[in-house]
Amino acid sequence: DQQVKQNSPSLSVQEGRISILNCDYTNSMFDYFLWYKKYPAEGPTFLISISSIKDKNEDGRFTVFLNKSAKHLSLHIVPSQPGDSAVYFCAASFADGLTFGKGTHLIIQP
C-alpha cells in the first residue's frame, strides 16, 4: 500500500513559467514533509520541508503548500529554470523514518 503518491511520473513546463508538483498521502500520522531533488547519477538533495502545523513554507523560488484535510501537498517553482530539470521526490515522516513517493520527472522546456 503506497502511503505517499506522486501521480504524475513526468511534467513538462516552459522556462519562466510555474511548475507545480503534487503529492498525496494516506497516513494522517505523518507530521513532517520534505521535497528532494535528484539529478541522474547523483544522490537526492534536500530542497524544502514543511511541518504539519504550517500550511505554507517559502524558500526563494520554491514554495511548499500543505492541505492537511485533503492530505495533499504541492511544490511550486516560480519561475522555472533549466537547472530545475530533475526528478523530484516527495517524502513524509512520522517517528520511524521517511516514506518516499515514486518521484516526478520535471522537464523544463526552453
Note the residues at the interface with another protein (CB under 8 A). 9, 31-32, 34, 36, 41-46, 49, 51, 89, 93-98, 100-103
Q: Cβ of residue 17: shortest distance to another protein, in angstroms?
A: 26
Residue 31 or 79: the one with the smaller Cβ distance to another protein is: 31
Phi and psi, residue 84, nearest 5°: -80, -10
Element (H, E) at 4: strand 4-5
Residue 13 or 101: the one with the smaller Cβ distance to another protein is: 101
The Cα–Cα gap between 65 and 48 comes to: 11
Q: Cβ of residue 2: shortest distance to another protein, in angstroms?
A: 9
Inter-CA distances, 84 with 18, 27, 80, Å: 11, 29, 7
Q: Cβ of residue 64: shortest distance to another protein, in angstroms?
A: 13
